[in-house]
Amino acid sequence: MKPEQNYNLIVENLQEVVGEEKLKEILQKRAVKIYWGTAPTGKPHVGYFVPILKIADFLKAGAHVTILFADIHAYLDNMKSSWELLSKRTLYYEFIIKEMLNLIEVPLDKLRFVRGTEFQLKEKYTLDVYKLSALSTSKDAQRAGAEVVKQVDNPRMSGLLYPILQALDEEHLKVDAQFGGVDQRKIFMFAREFLPKIGYEKRIHLMNPLIPGLGENGKMSSSEPNSKIDLDDSDDQIKKKINKAFSIDGQIENNGLLSLLRYVIFKKIELEKRSFVIERPEKYGGRISFKTYAEVESAFSNKSLASVDLKQGVSDELIKFISPLRKKIEQNKKLYQEAYP
């Protein structure tokens, strides 16, 4: 594709891009190098498909993508993963993310997988940690990690190191851009401010929207089981969670069902080049079909599509979508149980 087409695909559906001109400039010359990091803490759920499907767009645009399994970050974040469990959870994350990518037919040979412990313990990296620690204040670090690192009244030093390491990853992974959720924005801005102070370039930052959970409070959290769909949920569990999901007819904002449809389900539907079909009883209008997400949103907004029917369609699609993953998890049950005893 042409540089403009690659650019459009890279930024499609992102909430914010910082460094647009630099991205366009790089794409005129070569493929862009992007990294996405994930800390192996809570169990990956359906919401993880939001970044995974965006990574698929990057690859289609010819980008070189690095996925970082941020094992040290997981420990630094208020010890969400114990040191003993880190390697086992990292193995599970690597397994499940590869299976998620296989499910959407992303060639793995175009990706690079890296663990934090492979480079974050080296002498040069460690020296850079000291350099940034000397230049930034505890307030700088705490503010940067406010949306990402678990906040407590008396924070450990480890949480203050978290944004410093994430900033340095951009340089030591030799990438042009970092990709993450919009909740990462303060860390991204910390990196843009402090990396140049030790002689490194500012990177491009690509930010995905955060999709709301299924509950009324709008958050998708590992600590709230009914706010998310787990990858090993049974068909009955999926149906129950979707049926209980908060949804007001005609209300688009903070609707977790519509967000799942837009950022996860419709991406899969588009890959398969088909329509989104809802099977309704004849007395309620019968089968209804949508070619685009925009059509669904319009129908829901004008109340020609009710929440009860939306829930039916989303439930059916999610069951079809994650069934192959559930089988893979079952086949690797020992790995799963060791990671989450």
| Digit-coded pLDDT (tens) for 210-251 | 989 998 876 776 667 778 999 999 999 999 999 999 999 999
Find the farthest-apart pair of alpha carbons in the chain and give their distance in angstroms, rounded: 70
Please report the pLDDT score of residue 283 as a whole number.
Answer: 83
Please report the pLDDT score of residue 79 as a whole number.
Answer: 63
* Residue 194 neighbours by CB under 8 Å, 6+ apart: 132, 135, 136, 140, 164, 167
Please report the pLDDT score of residue 223 as a whole number.
Answer: 63
Mean pLDDT of 277-282: 89
Architecture of the domain delimited by 225-339:
Orthogonal Bundle (1.10)
Domain 3-208 carries which CATH code?
Answer: 3.40.50.620
Q: Does residue 209 surpass a pLDDT of 80?
A: yes
Look at 120 and 154; give whichever has higher pLDDT.
Answer: 120
| Digit-coded pLDDT (tens) for 146-179 | 888 776 777 778 888 989 999 999 999 999 999 9
| Digit-coded pLDDT (tens) for 283-328 | 888 899 999 999 999 999 999 999 999 999 999 999 999 999 999 9
Is residue 83 a contact partner of residue 28, using CB atoms and an 8 Å limit? no
Q: Do domains 3-208 and 225-339 have the same CATH topology?
A: no
Please report the pLDDT score of residue 187 as a whole number.
Answer: 96
Please report the pLDDT score of residue 78 as a whole number.
Answer: 60
Please report the pLDDT score of residue 1 as a whole number.
Answer: 83
Q: Does residue 281 surpass a pLDDT of 90?
A: no
Picking from 340, 341, 337, 335, the residue whose alpha carbon sits closest to that of residue 92 is 335
Picking from 3, 91, 65, the residue whose alpha carbon sits closest to that of residue 338 is 91
Share of the chain above pLDDT 70, in %: 97
- Please spell the DSSP secondary structure of 28-62, one letter per residue: HHS--EEEEEE-S-SPPBGGGHHHHHHHHHHHHTT
Q: What is the pTM of this model?
A: 0.92
Per the listing, tokens 């102070």 go with 197
Mean pLDDT of 62-71: 94
- Domain limits of the chain? 3-208, 225-339
Q: What is the mean pLDDT of the chain?
A: 92
Give CA angle at 169 (189, 17), nearest 5°.
40
* DSSP letter (8 states) at residue 276: E
